[in-house]
Structure 1
Amino acid sequence: MTTLEDLNSCAPDAFVAALRGIYEHSPWIAQRAAALRPFPTIAALKQALQAVVTGAQEDEKLSLLRAHPELAGKAAIAGELTAESTGEQAASGLDRCSPEEYALLHDLNARYNEKFGFPFILAVKGPTGRGLARAAIIETFARRLKNARAGEMAECLRQVHRIAEIRLNALLGVQLRFGPQVMDWAELLAAISDGEENLTCAYMTAAHRRTADQLAQWMIDAGMNVHIDAVGNVVGRYAAVQPDAKVLMTGSHYDTVRNGGKYDGRLGILLPIALVRHLHQRGERLPYHLEVVGFAEEEGVRFRSTFLGSSAITGRFDPALLDQQDGDGVTMREALAAAGHDAAAIASIARDPASLLGFIEVHIEQGPVLLEHGLPVGVVTAIAGSSRYLVELLGVASHAGTTPMGMRRDAAVAAAEIVLLVERRCSGRGSLVGTVGQLEVPGGSVNVVPGACRLSLDIRAATDEERLAAVDDILTGISAICARRGIDEKLWKLVQADAAPCSPRLMERLGTAIERAGLPRFDLLSGAGHDAMEMAQVTEVAMLFTRCGNGGISHNPLETMTADDAEVAGEVLLDFLRRF
């Protein structure tokens, strides 16, 4: 078995020969990487090989892509693939396609090559390294055929690096300790849903309670003392030897958006459970109580109320929310009682800030920054503040054929102007972003001038000053648009969350742990809200982001990550915990 030490110490020619099958028919990558030795870790070796490709000329990158065979193409059928490609395609059953599947893949290959000028490349062993199903491969093929050339070339290069990562793991006998378990657990949780067609886990539904029970069982199996509190948080404590030790908390939320992804929130619960299980198996204790918390609710799907789980722990839970109703008229109080929880006990969940050492949250990035930089993990600097509103516009519904354009009080046209106002005010302003994610003409008809329109506003920025200034300008602009068009407006504030800067001290410790893993430290802002925002009210917080695949898509079934990236995050967090 080849080792990293072997690769670091051998002659350059031997180094190139050892890595011959890692990048398809492209020895120049290993040749250039040989000059960058020694590599402190396998992760550093992977980064160095990737950096060589990133720094290559455009024609060299195209040559690398064109060195890859088509999936189930002529070379595969003729038995002309490399041993590595043969094994990979066989692992996903591409050597066992039906005649219809062969015909479809042949057509996709032809259309793809004609559009892009290089073959479709996909790491068919997938996020776990065990192989994708043929249906998933064909679905991905068809979806990516719609991409623009520059974006697709970048995605193909990322897939090349993923293929190389899997091959390098095999060459060096890498055994992942945490990543595969996290991926398997996430898959099992994804099968517990409010609906049969997708993953939806809303607060205090049957699926939500089953998910909590499953998390509790995995925590128990890992060696933790576990309870589910009155708001539905699943709390596992890995106790220190000293009973009076302070508490370091980690975790994230286990509820999801409608039709959501498998890793949003849940990665930050499952990864720490895997680490605690590892510590427990070794008989290793930490000099503090480590608590892993699966926060019951963060997304606000059922009752339009976010951070229910973490706000209970910070002592900021608003009792008025208990009378909030869902779409079926069920109050939160009733939903809690039906699940066996005592709403009156929620106040007792609050922690004493003096007992806490800090809060660390691991989370999938939910964006493309790490992906585009080719990095598995990054340190979050701050969590953007958020202002959310619902806006209702009331004009006059009238006949589309008989109402002159200049005499209309068209609510939809006012809404369109507001959408453009938001885009104009929030563009090119640093971290500031603005979104109208919901837009509705209730009861609209093709031949009626819209008399009403509803829309949402979501304004975020790294600083509260920047965000609030934009909110003021947008709300003033909405009033001016409505006044000019004869539209009445109503406004409801849904969320106002202040920006939460991360602790420089904890950021530094996370960054140092990343560097000890042989990776460059990379800092980035979180544009999404997280439970760490609420926890920042009572203790220092830090966040470790993990790379999100498929272009950074999240809150979507296409949300994905790899077992290797989960492994890196686990090693970094374990190092952080041991040295804290």
Structure 2
Amino acid sequence: MPLTLEQLNAAPPEEAARLLDGLYEHSPWIVETAMAQRPFASLAALKHAAARVVAEADVDRQLALIRAHPELAGKAMVSKSLTAESTDEQSRAGLTNCTPEEFDTLQRLNTAYNAKFGFPFILAVRGPRGTGLTRTQIIEAFERRLENPPDFERAECLRNIHRIAEIRLNDKFGVAPALGERVWDWQEALAQFSDPGFKEQGQLTVTYLTEAHRQAAAFIQREMRACGFDEVSIDAVGNVVGIYHGSDADAPRLLTGSHYDTVRNGGRYDGRLGIFVPMACVGELARAGRRLRHGIEVVAFAEEEGQRYKATFLGSGSLIGQFDPAWLDQKDADGITMREAMRAAGLPATLEAIGALRRDPARYLGFVEVHIEQGPVLSELDVPLGVVTSINGGVRLLCEMRGMASHAGTTPMDRRQDAAVAVAEVITYVERRAARDGDSVGTVGLLQVPGGSINVVPGRCSFSLDLRAPKDAQRDALLADVLSEIGAICARRGTRCTHEESMRAAAAPSAPAWQARWERAVQALGVPLHRMPSGAGHDAMKLHEVMPQAMLFVRGQNSGISHNPLESTTSDDIELAVRAFAHLLDHLEEKAA
């Protein structure tokens, strides 16, 4: 019989610890300590409590926990002395059926890893879906993580141990994240469509109105229909729009969604998670024959990344009447205009049709978006969901520092007007000044010495500035201080600097009532409430200009990396996001404090 939460909460301490025996490999102290926090409102609360026990332990005890785990395909597996749980996990991953070459590779990696870190390599081999990683995936993860710094790798081992414990806990309680798995599978299926030149290399790239982009739109359209949406269509800019009617035709709808285009060689979850999570909720409503009073409109935005054309947020911008007519004449790298690309995709490519997409904000309750975090914060906190307080405002500048080019051998150090060294000072100042705010960020992502030579003191150095903060005033203060410091550096070094602002985006603070709805949804799951700003831009920024908006973040795997093939999350965390969204839907009639 599967274990129940009621049974665990009511059991005496020794019995509760026995019921969870084997959750953490040879480390009963974790469960014994966590049991003091009973009663647990949910399995998610129990998982987090155990993770906090480990996080609050000293380094020696954390290392002892890591060392309690066996090597992958190591001596314990060969001698069949693994715990029952580890035997099952390594068998599911096929490690008991390695080829001689794979076995030799794993032994070599085990030796190298132990020599570098002093503890065994830990990987949740049942993976983010719970069905098992392939041996190739395991070896690739092994090789990649060998390059990590020791402290970072210790933390990564602990995160994988918590994932192992999460799957074991699901097994003990006989639960499966069915809706999370459905969303996870949708994302895997959508990832089969990728632009030429990338697909052949196993990379995911979907840029605006390519064949892969149109195939992705068709897939989303089919799945929306299968979920039970009442209306499904592709609009004049390629957005896929699904509408599930409410019981009151006059009631405003809830608008939600995200984008399905990607950066080049990107990840499978950025944007797409925010399409499929509400689709799963609509699917459950339709399956149960339920109608909410308010309708639900899910929009898979055709373009957010600005990869093929310089038209970032084209999909969501079109819904608020922000489509620049000049975009139609932009050409991509192959000389194809946007107008031509639209017509090839069967879209009308007229300003009249595009203008008709503009929504009346009075017909909507607001806009909510679910998104993978794209950062390490939730992962480091062992928290599956985060409520977004604001999307950072940002400003971008293209700058050029000018000094005096001179001979590298004959110009004394105290007589140089080195443009590159001046920019180096700017970079270190940006780092210090942004850190002073705590939640501001500053980046110099482009840096070049035009026409530079190995034996010439740089006379010119071009660079970019990307400055972001949760509030516009905070962003503007950061910019003012950076520009002031650039002036001081120029005066001290005898250089001069020009700059051109290339982008300015206002911060998008979450609407308090909608943020409160997300907070209540998270708390209803028994998950710790964590509020955080978003450093990345999202479609919600555009809808924010005409209606209230709020976002929910989902923890990412691999330290939250994004815009990268390693971008990932688990079916368990997705399940929580679906359930949080469903809670929000079920409480639309309530006023949020």
TM-score range, shorter chain: over 0.9
Aligned to 2:107: 106
Identity %: 55
In structure 1, the partner of 2:336 is 330
- Are 1:343 and 2:350 matched, yes or no? yes
Aligned letter for 1:164? Answer: A
Shift of 1:65: 1.4
CA–CA distance in structure 1, aligned partners of residues 428 and 422 of structure 2? 10
Instruction: Give distance in 2, aligned partners of 1:145 and 1:452.
Output: 39
For 1:500, the equivalent position in structure 2 comes to: 508
Deviation at residue 513 of structure 1 after TM alignment? 1.3
Do residues 208 (structure 1) and 213 (structure 2) align? yes
1:374 aligns with 2:382: yes
Note the C-alpha offset of 1:48: 2.3
Relative distance call for 1:475 and 1:231 in structure 2 (3 A) is farther
Match of 1:286 in 2: 292
Q: Which residue of 1 aligns with 2:362?
A: 354
TM-aligned CA deviation for residue 15 of structure 1: 1.9
Change (3 A) 1:112 1:538: same
Query: 2 CA distance for matches of 1:559 and 1:189?
Result: 15
The equivalent position to 2:253 in structure 1, one of 244, 247, 258, is 247
- The whole-number CA distance in structure 2 between the counterparts of 1:323 and 1:416 is 39
Quick check: 449-458 or 492-501, which moved more? 449-458
TM-superposed deviation, 1:157: 1.2
Aligned to 2:173: 172
Counterpart of 1:150 in structure 2 is 151
Match of 2:371 among 340, 350, 363: 363
| Separation in structure 1 between the aligned mates of residue 310 and residue 489 of structure 2, nearest angstrom | 28
The answer to whether residue 197 in structure 2 is matched with residue 189 in structure 1 is no
Alpha-carbon distance in structure 2 between the residues aligned to 1:32 and 1:470: 45
2-structure distance, mates of 1:281, 1:443: 64
Normalising by structure 2, we get a TM-score of: 0.92
Query: 2-side partners of 1:398 and 1:97: how far apart?
Result: 61
Contact map agreement 1:183 1:563 (CA 8 A) in 2: yes
2:591 paired residue number:
none
Residue of structure 1 equivalent to 2:23: 22
Q: Distance in 2 between the 1:352 and 1:383 partners?
A: 23
Query: What amino acid maps onto 2:99 in structure 1?
Result: S
Summarize deviations over 1:21-75 as a string: whole Å, max 9, x none: 2111122222223333222222122222223323334333222211110111111
Alpha-carbon separation, structure 2, partners of 1:466 and 1:41: 39
The one-letter amino acid of 1:299's match is E
Which of 551, 554, 564 aligns to 1:546? It is: 554
What do the CA deviations read for 1:395-432 (whole angstroms, capped 9, x no partner)?
77777667777787765445434433432432322221
1:155 shift after superposition: 1.4
- Asked whether 1:274 is paired with 2:280, we answer yes
The one of 305, 312, 331 equivalent to 1:306 is: 312
What's 1:464 paired with? 472
Q: Name the Cα RMSD after superposition.
A: 2.3
C-alpha spacing 1:201/1:479, structure 2 compared with 1 (3 Å):
farther
Alpha-carbon deviation of 1:217? Answer: 1.4
Relative to 1, partners in 2 of residues 1:54 and 1:421: Cα closer, same or farther, differing over 3 Å?
closer
Shift of residue 464, structure 1, vs aligned partner: 0.7
TM-score for the superposition, normalised by structure 1: 0.94
Rounded Cα–Cα distance in structure 2 between residues aligned with 1:186 and 1:292 = 16
Conservation of the 8 A alpha-carbon contact between 1:426 and 1:470: yes
Q: Which amino acid aligns with 2:243?
A: R
Residue from 533, 537, 543 that aligns with 1:535:
543
Superposed displacement of residue 392, structure 1: 4.5
Gap change, CA 1:199 and 1:446, over 3 Å in 2? farther
Between 1:85-94 and 1:8-17, the stretch displaced more is 8-17
Give per-residue Cα distances to partners, 1:480-502, cap 9 Å, x unaligned: 65677777765443321101110
Question: Partners in 1 of 2:395 and 2:315 — Cα distance?
Answer: 20
Counterpart residue number, 1:439: 447
CA distance in 2, matches of 1:238, 1:124: 39
2:532 matches 1:524: yes
| 3-state SS of 1:460 partner | strand
| Structure 2 residue matching 1:125: 3-state secondary structure | coil
Aligned partners of 1:417, 1:304: CA distance in 2, in Å? 31
Tell me the CA shift for residue 138 of structure 1: 1.5
Cα deviation, 1:329-355, whole Å, max 9, x if unaligned, reads: 433333323323223121111111111
Distance 2:392 2:130 in 1: 34
Hey, what does 1:229 align to over in structure 2?
Answer: 235
Greater CA drift, 409-418 or 359-368: 409-418
Whole-Å Cα distance in 2 between the matches of residues 19 and 70 of structure 1? 23
Q: After TM superposition, give the deviation of residue 249 of structure 1 in Å.
A: 0.8
What residue identity is the alignment partner of 1:251? G
Comparing 249-258 with 434-443, which one deviates more in the overlay?
Answer: 434-443
What is the letter of the counterpart of residue 187 of structure 1?
E
User: Closer, same or farther in 2 for the Cα pair 1:331/1:441, shift >3 Å?
Assistant: farther
Q: 1:423 aligns with which of 418, 428, 431?
A: 431
Alignment-derived partner of residue 301 in structure 2: 295
Distance in 2, Cα, partners of 1:217 & 1:391 = 47
The one-letter amino acid paired with 1:47 is H
Alignment partners' CA distance in 2, 1:442 and 1:40 = 61
Partner of 1:35: helix, strand, or coil? helix
Name the CA distance, whole Å, in 1 between partners of 2:506 and 2:167.
Answer: 42
Where in structure 1 are there 5+ consecutive unaligned residues? none
Which deviations, in whole Å up to 9, do the C-alpha atoms of 1:448-499 show, x marking residues without a partner?
6656544322110011112112223334544665677777765443321101
Aligned-partner SS, 2:62: helix
More displaced stretch, 389-398 vs 501-510: 389-398
Q: How far did residue 522 of structure 1 move?
A: 1.2
Equivalences, count: 580
How many angstroms apart in 2 are the aligned matches of 1:450 and 1:191?
A: 47
User: Counterpart amino acid of 1:139?
Assistant: E
In 2, distance between residues paired with 1:433 and 1:575? 33
- Deviation of the 1:14 alpha carbon: 2.5
The offset of 1:184, in angstroms, is: 1.4
Supply the distance in 1 between the matched residues of 2:334 and 2:499 (Cα, whole angstroms): 23
Query: 2: distance between equivalents of 1:421 and 1:154?
Result: 30
Per-residue CA distance 1:501-554 (angstroms, 9 max, x = gap)? 101111111111111111121111111111111111111111111001211211
How far has the Cα of 1:213 moved from its partner? Answer: 1.6
- 2-side partners of 1:349 and 1:481: how far apart? 49
Residue 170 (structure 1) shift: 1.0
Q: CA deviation at 1:394?
A: 6.3
SS in 2 for 1:349: coil
The answer to whether the aligner puts 1:129 opposite 2:130 as a matched pair is yes
- SS of the residue 1:428 aligns to: helix
Counterpart residue type for residue 316 of structure 1: Q
Where does the alignment leave 5 or more consecutive residues of structure 2 unmatched?
589-593
Cα deviation code 1:146-184 (max 9, x no counterpart): 222222222111111100100111111102221111111
**Distance of 2:345 and 2:545 partners within structure 1:** 29
Cα distance in 1 for partners of 2:212, 2:450 equals 31
Once residues 405 and 209 of structure 1 are traced to their aligned partners in structure 2, the CA distance between those partners, rounded to angstroms, is 58
1:89 equivalenced with 2:90 (yes/no): yes
Letter aligned with residue 122 of structure 2: I
Larger mean Cα displacement after TM superposition, 248-257 or 187-196: 187-196
